[in-house]
Amino acid sequence: MQERQSLIVYFKNPKVLKRLNQYGHVRYYHKKRKYAVLYVDADQVEKLSDSILKLRHVRRIEPSLLDQSAYTTDTEEVSIPDDLKKSDDVK
C-alpha cells in the first residue's frame, strides 16, 4: 500500500478543482471558504506542490496536520477530580 499525504489547497476560483483532480484525489472542498483537501502520494508531495502552486487560481498550499504524528485524535483517559464527580442538586 502506498503512503498518502493530504494537502490543503487554498484557491481563488473553484474552476481550479477540475485541474486538481489531475494531481491527486480531491477528498473534500468548500466553495465558500475556498479550500480543498487533496490526497497525493507521499514521495511526490514536493514535486506536485510546486506544480500545483503554478496553477492560475491557487493561492497557497499547506500540509495537513492530520498526517503528522504529533497531532492525534486518540482519546486518553483523563482523571476527573472527586469534587467534580459529585453532582449537586440544582433547582
Query: In whole angstroms, what is the distance from residue 55 CA to residue 57 CA?
Result: 6
Better-scored residue on pLDDT, 7 or 74: 7
CATH of the domain at 55: 3.30.70.80
The verdict on residue 86 lying in a domain is: no
Query: What local confidence, expressed as pLDDT, does residue 69 receive?
Result: 65
The pLDDT tens digits for 43-85 are: 999 999 999 999 999 999 999 888 776 655 566 665 666 666 6
Number of domains in the chain: 1
State which residues form the domain around 59.
4-67
7-42 per-residue burial string, b: 16 or more CB within 10 A, e: under 16 = bbbebeeeebbeebeebbeeeebeeeebbbbbbbee
| pTM reported for the whole predicted model | 0.72
Q: What is the mean pLDDT of residues 4-18?
A: 94
Asked if residue 32 belongs to a domain, the reply is yes
Reported as a single tens digit per residue, the pLDDT across 14-46 is 999 999 999 999 999 999 999 999 999 999 999
Please check whether residue 74 lies inside any domain of the structure. no
Residue 89 domain-assigned? Answer: no
Residue 40 lies in a domain: yes
- Position 77, amino acid: E
